């Protein structure tokens, strides 16, 4: 089983890249106090950085807005997840803890200004792909993406994230602590390659040290458009 990005995506955004981590055999996390402190520190730092800032003009955010436009998605209507998260933090909205794994992904996302996706590999009927949707693809409640084509994260014909990095479907949010194998994805651009790898490696270290996970890390771009995940 692979994570892969379709050539048509790279034709629109040729510098797109993804840091990839698989994590298996996870245990209940050790040092929850450390993880909670890391999570809180990321939010506090972000709230300070975002004071009197127009989020959509931040250099890190502008790249995603331009890429969304290139992929045929209106970034004002369907902003990427990190932009939406920054806006919530800027407004002072409370971001409630969901689970240690989700909280860890959020903290890494906020610290490095990259969207971080989390998916349960156990639920995949096939490869996980980033591609343009077709009439056979299904999102929430069995609805089809008939008559339209949008960039999606999809496995088989089960859409997990719509409009590229906008919003996970119900199937995409089904990750639980009971999952035997998880896939973390850090989306970005080759101009930020070093930072993406740094974020990926930091996340992998936490998964190993706090969750005793067996991990494997990779990097997907136009030159290497797939990575074996299972």
pTM of the model as a whole? 0.94
Q: How many whole angstroms separate alpha carbon 114 and alpha carbon 184?
A: 12
Q: What is the pLDDT of residue 29?
A: 79
Per-position pLDDT tens, the chain of length 230:
999 999 999 999 999 999 999 999 998 877 788 888 998 999 999 999 999 999 999 999 999 999 999 999 999 999 999 999 999 999 988 777 788 898 999 999 999 999 999 999 999 999 999 999 999 999 876 777 767 799 999 999 999 999 999 988 877 766 655 678 999 999 999 999 999 999 999 999 999 999 999 999 999 999 999 999 98
CATH assignment of the domain containing 6: 3.50.40
Under a CB-based contact definition with an 8 Å cutoff, are residues 215 and 198 in contact?
no
Q: What is the pLDDT of residue 108?
A: 97
Q: What is the pLDDT of residue 175?
A: 60
Q: How many whole angstroms separate alpha carbon 39 and alpha carbon 85?
A: 14
* Burial category of 49 from C-beta neighbours within 10 Å (exposed 0-12, middle 13-18, buried 19 and up): middle
Buried b (16+ CB within 10 A) or exposed e, 143-169: eebeeeebbbbbbebbbbbbbbbbebb
* Burial category of 95 from C-beta neighbours within 10 Å (exposed 0-12, middle 13-18, buried 19 and up): middle
Read out DSSP for 85-150? HHHHHHTT-------HHHHHHHHHHHHHT--EEEEEGGG-SS-EEEEE--TT-B-GGG-B-TT---
Three-state DSSP state, 203: helix
Q: How many whole angstroms separate alpha carbon 193 and alpha carbon 187?
A: 10
Domain housing 77: 2-228
The total number of structural domains that make up the chain: 1
């Amino acid at each position: 089983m692979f994570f892969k990005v379709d050539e048509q995506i790279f034709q629109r955004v040729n510098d797109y890249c993804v840091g990839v981590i698989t994590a298996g055999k996870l245990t209940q996390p050790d040092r929850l106090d450390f993880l909670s402190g890391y999570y809180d520190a990321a939010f506090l730092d972000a709230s300070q950085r975002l004071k009197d800032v127009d989020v959509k003009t931040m250099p890190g955010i502008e790249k995603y807005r331009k890429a969304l436009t290139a992929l045929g998605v209106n970034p004002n209507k369907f902003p990427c997840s990190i932009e939406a998260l920054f806006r919530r933090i800027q407004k002072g909205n409370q971001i409630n803890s969901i689970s240690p794994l989700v909280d860890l992904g959020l903290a890494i996302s906020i610290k490095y200004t990259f969207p971080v996706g989390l998916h349960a590999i156990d639920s995949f009927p096939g490869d996980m792909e980033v591609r343009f949707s077709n009439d056979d693809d299904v999102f929430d409640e069995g609805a089809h993406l008939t008559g339209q084509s949008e960039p999606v994260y999809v496995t088989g014909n089960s859409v997990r994230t719509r409009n590229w990095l906008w919003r996970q479907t119900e199937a995409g949010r089904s990750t639980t602590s009971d999952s035997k194998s998880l896939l973390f994805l850090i989306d970005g651009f080759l101009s930020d390659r070093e930072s993406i790898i740094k974020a990926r490696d930091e996340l992998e270290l936490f998964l190993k040290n706090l969750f005793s996970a067996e991990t494997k890390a990779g990097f997907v771009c136009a030159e290497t458009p797939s990575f074996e995940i299972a």
